[in-house]
Amino acid sequence: MLEIEADAVRALVTRLDQRFVDAVELIAARRGRVVVSGMGKSGHIARKIASTLASTGTPAYFVHPAEASHGDLGMVEAGDVFIAISYSGASEELVQILPQVKRRGAKLIALTGKPDSALAREADVHLDAGVAQEACPHNLSPTASTTAALALGDALAVALLDRRGFSAADFARTHPRGGLPGQALARQALLHVEDVMRTGDQIPKVASGTPLRQAVIEMSRGRIGMTAVMDPAGLVVGVFTDGDLRRTIEKNTELSQVLVDDVMTKNPRTVRSKTLAAEAVHVMEEHKISQVLVVDERGALVGALNMHDLFRARVI
C-alpha cells in the first residue's frame, strides 16, 4: 500500500510543468485571498492545504462547497484565487458554484485526476493529480489520490514560500505558540534582545556623580543586581553591580563620601536591541556576568537584561 502511494507522489514530478508555474504565479499575483474547497475526502485535503498556505505566508481559508451555495460564497471576492479539489472533476457541489465563483471575479485553479472533466475545462489553470491506482484493494477508497492531492498542494505552498522569500522568522511570527517542541524552540531561538529586555522605568539608572548610597537604593529598586551610570548626554559610562558593592565594602570602612563613579565598572559589556537573545546569553556566559545593558549606536541606554529575563523567555 505504501509503495502505491509513494509511486503516486513520484509520478507528480513528471507533471510539474508550465501549468504548475502558472498556478504559482496566479496565486502570487492575486489581490485577495486564496479560497480552497472540496467535498468528502477532498474536503479534508482542502482544509489542510488552506492551513499550510496560511501558515507559510499565503492568506488562505477553506470554504465547504455545500455551504458556499447557501451563503458562504459571499466570502469569495474579486481578486481571490479559488482552488477547487475533486479527483473526478465532477463533484456536483463544486460544479454548481463555479459560475458564481467566476462571476464574482475570482480566478479558478482546479486540482483533479481527470484533465477532461468539467472542472478542469472551466479552470484558469488545471493541475493533474491523477494516479494509476488507489491503494485500496478494491481501487475505490480515496487513498493514493488524496495523498497525491495533498502533496501537490504542499508543493504549491512551498513554491510560494520560496518565491516570496518567506523566512524562518516569518514562520515563527505565524506560529506564536509554536506547536511541536522543536517549533517552540525555534521560535525562542529567534527572539531578539528587544523582545525580552526591560525598558523605561524598569531600567535602574543613576547619573554620574551620584553618591554610592543613592546608587545602592536605585539598584535595589531595579531588582536586577545592577544600575547603569549615565553621563549628562544619556550615554552609558559604567555599571554598578552587586559584585562592585561587595568589593567596595571589603575595601572601604567609610562609604558616606564615596561616589558611584569611584567604584563602578567602567566601559561595561553592552549589546544592541536587535541582537539575538541567544547571542546575549553567549556574551554573558563568556564574560561571566549575569546582566547586561542594552545601548543604541551612540551608546545611549535603551534597555537592561539579566539571566532571569532570559529564563522567563525560555531562551535558556
Same-domain check for residues 138 and 6: yes
Q: How far apart are CA 51 and CA 185, in angstroms?
A: 21
Identify whether residues 100 and 247 lie together within a single domain. Answer: no
**172 in a domain, yes or no?**
no
For 199-223, write each residue's pLDDT tens digit: 999 999 999 999 999 999 999 999 9
Q: Is residue 183 a part of any domain in this protein?
A: no
> Phi/psi of residue 230, each to 5°?
-115, 150
Give me the residue label for grid cell 524598569. Answer: 202
Angle at 146 between CA 144 and CA 152, to 5 degrees: 100
Give yes or no: residues 85 and 198 share one domain. no
Q: Are residues 144 and 248 in the same domain?
A: no
Q: Alpha helices of 123-211 — where are they, by DSSP H?
A: 144-164, 168-173, 181-189, 193-196
Looking at the structure, do residues 68 and 143 belong to the same domain, yes or no? yes
Give every CB contact of residue 135 below 8 A, 6+ residues apart in sequence.
1, 2, 4, 5, 143, 144
Q: What's the pLDDT at 176?
A: 55
Residues 60-103: pLDDT tens digits? 999 999 888 887 888 899 999 999 999 999 999 999 998 889 89
Domain count of the fold of the chain: 2
| Predicted TM-score of the model (pTM) | 0.57
Which of the pair, 75 or 228, is modelled with greater confidence? 228
Range in 39-48, 167-176, 228-237, 253-262 the model is least confident about: 167-176
Kindly state whether residues 104 and 43 are assigned to the same domain.
yes
Tell me the residue type at 186. A
Q: Which pLDDT band, with edges at 50, 70 and 90, does 180 fall under? A: very low
**In terms of residue numbers, what domain contains 282?**
193-312
CATH number at residue 12: 3.40.50.10490
Residues 246 and 128 in one domain: no
Do residues 58 and 166 make contact, with C-beta atoms less than 8 angstroms apart? no
Same domain, 207 and 157: no
245 and 143 housed in the same domain: no
Q: Are residues 12 and 48 in the same domain?
A: yes
CA distance 156 to 33: 15
**153 plus 201 within the same structural domain:** no
Answer whether 169's CB lies under 8 Å from 56's CB.
no
Q: Same domain, yes or no, for 156 and 11?
A: yes
Q: Is position 180 within any domain?
A: no
Report the CATH number at residue 203: 3.10.580.10
Mean pLDDT lowest for which of 28-42, 82-96, 138-152, 193-207?
138-152
Q: Is residue 239 part of a domain?
A: yes
What are the Cα distances from residue 25, in Å, to 101, 124, 125? 19, 12, 11
